[in-house]
Structure 1
Amino acid sequence: MSLPAEMRFVDLPSFGAPEVMVVSKGPLPVARAGEILVRVEVAGVNRPDVAQREGSYPAPKDASPVLGLEVAGEVVALGEGVTEFAVGDKVCALANGGGYAEYCTVPAGQALPWPKGYDAVRAAALPETFFTVWANLFQMAGLTEGETVLIHGGTSGIGTTAIQLAHAFGARVFTTAGSKEKCEACVKLGATRAINYREEDFVTVIKEETGKKGVDTILDMIGAAYFEKNLAALAKDGCLSIIAFLGGFKAENVNLTPIMVKRLTVTGSTMRPRTAEEKRGIRDELVAEVWPLIESGKVAPVIHTVLPLEQVVDAHKLMESSNHIGKIVLTL
Structure 2
Amino acid sequence: MRRVRYESTGGPLFLEEAPVPEPGPGELLVRCAAVGITLPVVRKVTEAAGPIPLGGEIAGEVVAVGEGVTRFRPAERVTGLCFGHGYADFALLHEAMASSVPDGADAVDAVALVRSGLVAFGALEAARPVPGEAVLVTAAASGVGHLAVQLARARGAGRVVGTVSDPGKAEFVRSLGADDCVRYGDGSWGDPVDCVLDAVGGDLLTPALAALAPHGRLVAYSSGGGTVQAYDLLVGAKSVIGFQMAVIARGRPDLYERWRQELWRLFAEGSLKPAVHAGFALEDAAKAHEVIERRANLGKVVLCP
State the TM-score, normalized to the length of structure 1: 0.83
Whether 2:268 is the aligned partner of 1:290: answer no
Q: Provide closer, same or farther for how the CA distance between residues 193 and 115 of structure 1 changes in structure 2, counting only shifts above 3 A.
A: farther
Select 1:14's aligned residue among 8, 13, 16: 8
Whether 2:42 is the aligned partner of 1:50: answer yes
Contact map agreement 1:51 1:57 (CA 8 A) in 2:
no
Which whole-Å deviations, capped at 9, do the CAs of 1:295-315 have from their partners, x for residues lacking one? 122111111111110111111
Q: Provide closer, same or farther for how the CA distance between residues 238 and 56 of structure 1 changes in structure 2, counting only shifts above 3 A.
A: farther
State the SS of the aligned residue for 1:125: helix
1:150, distance to aligned residue in structure 2 (A): 0.7
Whether 2:239 is the aligned partner of 1:239: answer no
Whether 2:71 is the aligned partner of 1:81: answer no
Q: Which residue of 2 aligns with 1:307?
A: 280
Contact map agreement 1:112 1:283 (CA 8 A) in 2:
no
Select 1:155's aligned residue among 131, 141, 147: 141
Contact map agreement 1:44 1:328 (CA 8 A) in 2:
yes
1:226, distance to aligned residue in structure 2 (A): 1.9
1:170, distance to aligned residue in structure 2 (A): 1.2
Contact map agreement 1:165 1:299 (CA 8 A) in 2:
yes
Contact map agreement 2:279 2:301 (CA 8 A) in 1:
yes
Which whole-Å deviations, capped at 9, do the CAs of 1:46-87 have from their partners, x for residues lacking one? 21121121134989xxxxx42121011001222333222221
Question: Which amino acid in structure 1 is aligned with residue 172 of structure 2?
Answer: A
Identity %: 34
Unaligned ranges ≥5, structure 2: none
Q: How does 1:31-50 map to 2 (within 5 A)?
A: 31-50=23-42
1:257, distance to aligned residue in structure 2 (A): 1.8
1:120, distance to aligned residue in structure 2 (A): 1.9
Which whole-Å deviations, capped at 9, do the CAs of 1:188-230 have from their partners, x for residues lacking one? 10111111334x3344x1x2xxxxxx32211112223122222
Whether 2:81 is the aligned partner of 1:94: answer yes
Which whole-Å deviations, capped at 9, do the CAs of 1:7-46 have from their partners, x for residues lacking one? 21111211105xx211112233333333322111111112
Distance across 1 between alignment mates of 2:84 and 2:22: 14
Unaligned ranges ≥5, structure 1: 1-6, 60-64, 208-213
Distance across 1 between alignment mates of 2:50 and 2:211: 33
Q: Which residue of 2 aligns with 1:23?
A: 15
State the SS of the aligned residue for 1:27: coil
Question: Which amino acid in structure 1 is aligned with residue 20 of structure 2?
Answer: L
Contact map agreement 2:248 2:255 (CA 8 A) in 1:
no
Question: Which amino acid in structure 1 is aligned with residue 119 of structure 2?
Answer: T
Q: Which residue of 2 aligns with 1:62?
A: none
Distance across 1 between alignment mates of 2:98 and 2:121: 15
Distance across 2 between alignment mates of 1:236 and 1:43: 41
Distance across 1 between alignment mates of 2:184 and 2:107: 34
Select 1:266's aligned residue among 235, 240, 260: 240
Q: Provide closer, same or farther for how the CA distance between residues 279 and 101 of structure 1 changes in structure 2, counting only shifts above 3 A.
A: farther
Q: How does 1:172-187 map to 2 (within 5 A)?
A: 172-187=159-174
Distance across 2 between alignment mates of 1:158 and 1:57: 27
Q: Which residue of 2 aligns with 1:195?
A: 182
1:282, distance to aligned residue in structure 2 (A): 4.8
Question: Which amino acid in structure 2 is aligned with residue 134 of structure 1?
Answer: F
Question: Which amino acid in structure 1 is aligned with residue 139 of structure 2?
Answer: G
Q: Which residue of 1 aligns with 2:208?
A: 230
Which whole-Å deviations, capped at 9, do the CAs of 1:270-315 have from their partners, x for residues lacking one? 445x475337345412333221110122111111111110111111
State the SS of the aligned residue for 1:126: helix
Distance across 2 between alignment mates of 1:95 and 1:57: 21
